[in-house]
Amino acid sequence: MTTILPTTGTLDVPGATIYHETRGTGPLVVLVGSPMDARPFAPLADLLATDHTVVTLDPRGIAHSSMDDPEAGSPIETRADDLARLIEYRGGSAAVLGSSGGAVVALALAQLRPELAHTVIAHEPPLSELLDDREALRTRTEEMIALHRSGDTVGAMRQFMAHAGLVVPEEMFQAMSAADRDPQAIADEAHFFRHEMRPTTSWRPDTAALRTAATRIVIGIGDTSAGTLCDRTSRALAAALGIEPVTFPGGHGGFAENPPAFAARVREVLAD
């Protein structure tokens, strides 16, 4: 796979500066995550950039994207406005692939500014409010946030992964305890627990607006995600919208697990 050196830039938005990377030429595709920054999307972006202009970004408060007030909140509507401004800056309507919290941001964009996204692929959005056990899920979220604030960052991450139904190597948790751990990784993790997790999981989509929006909505689920929280939330959203979910290779992080297969599926969806 060929690695493409991206063009980098920043965009000033209300309360923040958004770092973004651009690859390729052709129809505009934007890849957005949360809490992931642009880096995990790079292999997928390289593959799509052979015939698309592909934009990736760091969400406000994460990695290279700064906030005027680092302790300010990060509501979904604010992040959707950041995305809208970036799409406008890049020249107009785009296909948007959002994964995890980025899928929630992409759905909010479709509600607020549908003219800027002709297609939204929402890959495993963690929309807990759509589930019958939403109250228990809210309680778990608050417990994880409180645990992280108490200083038990490893314990909070363990609970988060278990809550999401994600299996990760023990080495990841051990690395979180390392004395020489990257300060930016520590800051990004804190921003996620303190400012992103609650507004992301508590956002409730306007399904009536999404059903009638000009934006084509595609709900993506990993083919190895059965039984996980985001499998449940994605299926609940698809049912509420009256559409069938689309299977993508891999699990919650399928775009990074197997970029070639994931890119092929994205191309199929965009061509459909």
Sorted by where each begins, the domain ranges of the chain are 7-132+203-271, 134-198
For tokens 């290779």, the residue is: 249
pTM here is 0.96
CATH number among 3.10.129.10, 3.30.365.10, 3.40.50.1820, 3.30.470.20, domain 7-132+203-271? 3.40.50.1820
Contacts of 98 (CB under 8 A, 6+ apart): 31, 32, 33, 104, 105, 106, 107, 120, 121, 122, 123, 125
Encoding tokens for residue 67? 């906030």
pLDDT at 67 over 90: yes
What was the pLDDT predicted at 152? 95
pLDDT in tens, 100-118: 999 999 999 999 999 999 9
pLDDT at 239 over 80: yes
pLDDT at 69 over 80: yes
Please say whether the beta carbons of 55 and 48 come within 8 A: no
